[in-house]
Amino acid sequence: MLPSPSSVVHLIWQEMLSGQLWFHLSATLLRVLISFIIAMLIGSIIGILMGRSKITDQFLDPWLIVFLNIPALVIIILAYVWFGLAELTAIFAIAINKIPNVVVTMREGSRTLNEDYNQMARSFNLSKRKILLYITLPQLLPFFAVAARSGIALIWKIVLVVELLGRSNGVGFQLHLYFQLFDVTGIMAYSFSFILIMLTIEYALLQPLERKINRWRG
C-alpha cells in the first residue's frame, strides 16, 4: 500500500532537519563524483589508444567485450569478496562498471578524427601540444560529452547497489534499511530525494555543458 504524499514529504522534512538526509545524499554524491572522474579518465585514455592503434585494439578488444557483458552485480560482489567492504572497493566497483562504456565511445570518437587537420597543422609546424589542444581534443569533446551523459546515468544505478551490499551510509544503505523494516514511506522519501538530485544535476549541469561543448560543430 502506497503512503500518502504528505507523509512522504513530512519524512523528507524530518530527515532534512535531523541532517540524516544530507549526510546520506552527500556520501552517495561523493562516491558518484570520484568514480565518475576515475572512469572518465581511464576510459578515455584506453579508448583513444584503442582507436588510434590497431595492435592495442586487437589486444584489449576481447577484454572489453568481457567487461561489457559481465553483470554489474557480479563485479560488485567479486570486488567486495576480494578486496573487502571498504570505501575504495566501493568506488572501484562503480568505476570498473563504467569504464568499458567510456572506452567504446571514445574509441569510436578517435577513429573519426580528421587526419587532414593534423597534416595541415604539421605543415604550419605546430607543436604536438598545440595539435592536441586545438585540433584533437575539440573533435573528441562531443564523444566525451556522450560518454559522460550515458555514464552518469549508469553510475546512478550502480552506486545504489554498491551501497546496499557493502556500505554503512548512502542512499542505497538507507533504502536497504527501510526495506528490512518494510517502511514504504522511508523508501519513497529517499527515492524521491535521490531522483530530485539526479534531475537537478542533469538539467542544471550536464545538458548545458553538453550544449556548450557541441557549439564548435556549428
Give the residue from 195, 165, 211 showing the smallest Cα distance to 72.
165
- For residue 10 the three cell numbers come to 513530512
Give the residue from 208, 218, 64 showing the smallest Cα distance to 145.
208
Mean pLDDT confidence for 33-48: 94
How large is the C-alpha radius of gyration of the chain?
Answer: 21
Does residue 106 fall inside a structural domain? yes
Mean pLDDT confidence for 194-206: 89
Does residue 184 fall inside a structural domain? yes
Using CA atoms, how far apart are residues 204 and 171, in angstroms rounded to an integer?
Answer: 21
Provide, rounded to the nearest whole percent, the portion of the chain with pLDDT above 90: 65
Mean pLDDT of the chain: 88
Eight-state DSSP code of residue 2: P
Beta carbons within 8 Å of 13's beta carbon, 6+ residues apart: none
Mean pLDDT confidence for 191-197: 94
In this prediction the pTM is: 0.88
Containing structural domain, residue 176:
20-217
In this predicted structure, the answer to whether residue 216 has a pLDDT above a threshold of 70 is no
User: pLDDT confidence of 113, banded at 50, 70, 90?
Assistant: confident
Does residue 15 fall inside a structural domain? no
In this predicted structure, the answer to whether residue 217 has a pLDDT above a threshold of 60 is no
Give the CATH number, domain containing residue 69.
1.10.3720.10
With residues binned 3-state (H G I as helix, E B as strand, rest as coil), the percentages for the chain, rounded to 5, are 90, 0, 10
Mean pLDDT confidence for 100-125: 82
- Tens-place pLDDT, residues 46-92: 999 999 889 999 999 999 999 999 999 999 999 999 999 899 999 99
More confident residue, 114 or 100: 100
Does residue 63 fall inside a structural domain? yes
Using CA atoms, how far apart are residues 67 and 106, in angstroms rounded to an integer?
Answer: 16
Does residue 4 fall inside a structural domain? no
pLDDT value at residue 133: 75
In this predicted structure, the answer to whether residue 218 has a pLDDT above a threshold of 70 is no
Does residue 90 fall inside a structural domain? yes
